[in-house]
Structure 1
Amino acid sequence: MRENILLILQIITVDFFTAFGLYTFLFLIVSIFTKKPVLKKIDEEANGFIAFAGVIYFTVWIIGIFVFYADSNTEEQTSMLSRMFGKYWFGYWVQPLLWVSLTQLLRIRTIRKNVLLRILFSFLLIFSIEKYVIMMVTFHRDYLPSSWTMYNELSIYPSNFFLMLLAKILMFLLFVGIYHLIKSRIKIVLERK
């Protein structure tokens, strides 16, 4: 059960939140050059999908808290409660609540249309606090980059990186399309009743 919850949370954060941030940058660049109404419709559906994904994330996260607590022994439960409500409680709560609040704020039209807020939200959805801390520690002045190489057998080449980002955006748009189809089918069924 724990592994399934962690997998769902990872899929939502990596494949949906990060992909939405990348999609937003692509959308803002493309919207400078073209003003087609289909582009606005896709963006509305993408915002609706990411708000829905935020609700799913919050639900699974809350369920995960209870499952992890129930499956733990007494020592782990005490440690978990200490992390949740102890001296550094904000480290436990800030990132998930930030993701949920950002996705739900995108339901508001004025926030959704504000370019600067969309760019800020994209950065916050792409780079979590954990990723930010890792980058700061990595580039700290005491870190010795003697093992840095430009291209080794494990590195990602720029062309592969670009294709990986493009594939992530296309996969996100595929899920947005599926979300749109399901939403329109539900609307048709509700109108018939």
Structure 2
Amino acid sequence: MMNIFFNLELLILDFFTAFGFYSFLFLIVSIFIKKTTFYSFDNQAKKFITFVGVLYIIFWFLGTIVYYIECNPEEKNEMVDRMFGKYWFSIWIQPLFWFFLSQIFRIKIFSKNILIRIIASFFLIISIERLVIIISSFHRDYLPSSWTMYRQLDIYPSNFILSILLKIFIFMLFVGLYTYISNKIHQLRNK
């Protein structure tokens, strides 16, 4: 059961990063294209990401509850101590941050502001965990002794760009599916 929640949460996290990249792409393309269908698709993308934010927080809470139920008593005590103990914020900040950041697009003032969208997109792409890793890698105590000149990289720039474009494309497919389903539901309600 926990594996299902983990896989769904990973899928949803991919939507957050894809929306961040999509937003940057949209802001660049919107300089050149001024069609109403383009902007209506963007409005649907913002509605979809708010829906994904609600799904994410639900799956996060359900996954946490299921994990708590499946744990032995010692692990349960450790989990409660981590979630409500001295460093409680390290557990709660990322899920709540992503939830509130995705829900900000429900408010028209924030939804229309380009600067807020750029900041929100950046924080949807770069999680707090990644931000801490980046900052700690530049810290003065970080020893670059493991750096080598001839290190084999598994990630090539072309593969990275293709993976970003694929994420954006899959995100746009899901936005189209979401729009289709919501239109069908709206039509059924009006009959």
Q: Tell me, in whole angstroms, the C-alpha distance in 2 between the residues paired with 1:140 and 1:43.
A: 39
How far is the alpha carbon of 1:7 from its aligned partner?
Answer: 1.2
Aligned to 1:6: 6
Matches within 5 A, 1:1-193: 1-13=1-13, 15-141=14-140, 142-144=142-144, 146-149=146-149, 152=152, 154-192=153-191
Compared CA separation, residues 183 and 87, structure 1 to 2 (3 A): same
Q: Quick one: distance in 2 between partners of 1:98 and 1:114?
A: 19
Instruction: Indicate how the Cα distance of structure 1 residues 70 and 163 shifts in structure 2: closer, same or farther if over 3 A, else same.
Output: same
1:146 Cα deviation from its structure 2 partner: 4.4
Give the partner amino acid of 2:19.
F
Q: Which consecutive residues of structure 2, in runs of 5 or more, have no partner in the other structure?
A: none
Q: TM-score, normalised by structure 1?
A: 0.93
8 A contact 1:151–1:157 mirrored in 2: no
TM-score by length of 2: 0.94
| Aligned residue type for 2:54 | V
Deviation at 1:173, TM superposition (A): 0.2
Identity %, equivalent residues: 48
Structure 1 position 4, deviation (Å): 1.2
d(CA) in 2 for partners of 1:77, 1:161: 39
Deviation of residue 140 (structure 1)? 2.9
Note the residue ranges of structure 1 that are not aligned, 5 or more in a row. Answer: none
CA RMSD of aligned residues (A): 1.4
1:62-115 deviation per Cα after TM superposition (whole angstroms, max 9, x unaligned)? 111211111111110110011111000110111100011111111111111100
- d(CA) in 1 for partners of 2:178, 2:102: 16
Residue identity in the other structure for 1:44: N
1-side partners of 2:11 and 2:79: how far apart?
23
What secondary structure does 1:87 align onto? coil
Query: Partner of 2:31: helix, strand, or coil?
Result: helix
The number of equivalent residue pairs is 190
Distance 1:161 1:42 in 2: 26
Instruction: Tell me how far 1:148 sits from its aligned partner.
Output: 4.2
Per-residue CA distance 1:109-156 (angstroms, 9 max, x = gap): 11111001001100111111111112223333323164345772x422
